Amino acid sequence: MLTIRPSSPRSGVALDLGTVGTLVSVPSRGTLIEEPTVVARRRGTDHVVAVGSDAEALAACGADDLDIVHPLGSGVVSDPDAATALVAEVVRRAAGSLLFARPTLVVGVPDGATDVERHALAEVVRSTSRHPRVSLVSEALAAALGAGPGGAEASVIVDIGGGTTELAVVAGGHRTAHRSIRVAGNAMDEAVARAVRSEHGLVIGARTAETLKVSSGLVGGGPSMTVTGRDARRWGWLRSEPVEPALVAEALGRPAAAILRAFEDLIADVPPDLAEAVVTRGVRLAGGGSQLLGLADRFCQTTCCAAKVVDDPVRCVLRGLERCLRPDRLRPSQPADTAA
Ligand SMILES: Nc1ncnc2c1ncn2[C@@H]1O[C@H](COP(=O)(O)OP(=O)(O)OP(=O)(O)O)[C@@H](O)[C@H]1O
Ligand SMILES: [Mg+2]
């Protein structure tokens, strides 16, 4: 657990429930919790044994009496019970007795989430305390707010997480255009795993694929990396093979191209003068996936506009949600479940 000291006290809880990582902060208490979005359950039962990093540690041990559950898929709740157990625990740890004061919980939601998915997320969050006020905020808008002062001028934000990439043009604290695609870090890992299987006949795990992704990125330079996986033809046999970074970079080119197409699609949706203004100001990249080696350069080459990864990109959405907790941004009559 990390502790931060906010510059000004604000009441309420900010929650970024991501496909890969869950971040909760309570600025007025100076608490920040960061946990992987993972839950361990006793096999065949509803009994939750551990959440977050404790669940991840159990997963690494490979205990055969446990189910390791990822309660979110593509940025939305796929296992409500597991998500509720995780959220209840991390919010309780971050907020403590503040929960009795019916705090406002500001939660990020992908723009591509359906009404049913938004409702499911709100229900999960509502279960953390009795009668909390829940406000859902667009993750793209939160990322833009968390990326730093944008002023009244329009800017473009691209938040590349584990499950989704959120893209938006934001001006004066409001979105003027947005896109959400279910291609992000996890899809990159899957692309790498598919390439290793087809080229080397080797089935590698998600962790190994992620390691290859992070070390090679789109650059693809450096020495080969030896990885161990199952032989696809003789199942049960383990085999180690050197994997060329060029193979990894080529595999990552496809999800990167999908993100760039979504960006072009977004820009095509705004009036020409506004598009020119935002492209001139440059693109801000946020989320863990934005750290992919060579991605900012690929943006510059393909779109002819400058692209920069924001400071501390993984916490960018959370910073924006904290800003949404400021009293001047919360309308008193704001109902629960409203996406800004
Ligand atoms: N250095 C890096 N290079 C490439 N990818 C990275 C790097 N560091 C983290 N990532 C990727 O970032 C992703 C997680 O990012 P993030 O924590 O922003 O996702 P999330 O908020 O949980 O997901 P989402 O917002 O889509 O629900 C993972 O796929 C991870 O592999
Ligand atoms: Mg995210």
pLDDT in tens, 199-232: 999 999 999 999 999 999 999 888 999 999 999 9
Q: What is the CATH number of the domain that holds 97?
A: 3.30.420.40
Domain boundary among 228, 251, 274: 251
Q: Is 315 in the pocket of ligand 1 (CB under 6 A)?
A: no
In a shared domain, residues 158 and 280? yes
338 in a structural domain: no
Q: Residue 4: its pLDDT value, please?
A: 34
339 in a structural domain: no
In a shared domain, residues 86 and 198? no
303 in a structural domain: yes
How many Cβ atoms sit within 10 Å of the Cβ of residue 12? 26
Q: Residue 260: its pLDDT value, please?
A: 97
* Count: domains in the chain: 3
Say whether pTM exceeds 0.75.
yes
Question: What is the H or E stretch that residue 61 is in?
Answer: helix 52-61
Give the structural domain span for 228: 185-251
In a shared domain, residues 27 and 82? yes
Ligand 2 center to 23 CA (angstroms): 9
What are the residue ranges in the chain where pLDDT is below 70?
1-10, 150-152, 327-340
Q: Residue 171: its pLDDT value, please?
A: 84
Ligand 1 center to 190 CA (angstroms): 13
Q: Residue 173: its pLDDT value, please?
A: 78
Q: Is 186 in the pocket of ligand 1 (CB under 6 A)?
A: yes
Ligand 2 center to 291 CA (angstroms): 13
Angle at 38 between CA 159 and CA 335, to 5 degrees: 60
Residue among 15, 17, 19, 20 whose CB has most ligand 1 atoms within 8 A, to mutate: 20
Q: What is the pLDDT of residues 101-150, one digit of tens each?
A: 888 999 999 999 999 999 999 999 998 877 778 999 999 999 999 998 76
Q: Residue 11: its pLDDT value, please?
A: 74
Ligand 1 center to 109 CA (angstroms): 16
Q: Is 294 in the pocket of ligand 1 (CB under 6 A)?
A: no
335 in a structural domain: no
Ligand of minimum distance to the alpha carbon of 18 = 1
In a shared domain, residues 177 and 305? yes
In a shared domain, residues 275 and 158? yes
Which residue in the block uniquely carries the two structure tokens 């907020």?
A: 95
Q: What are phi and psi of 264, to 5 degrees?
A: -65, -40
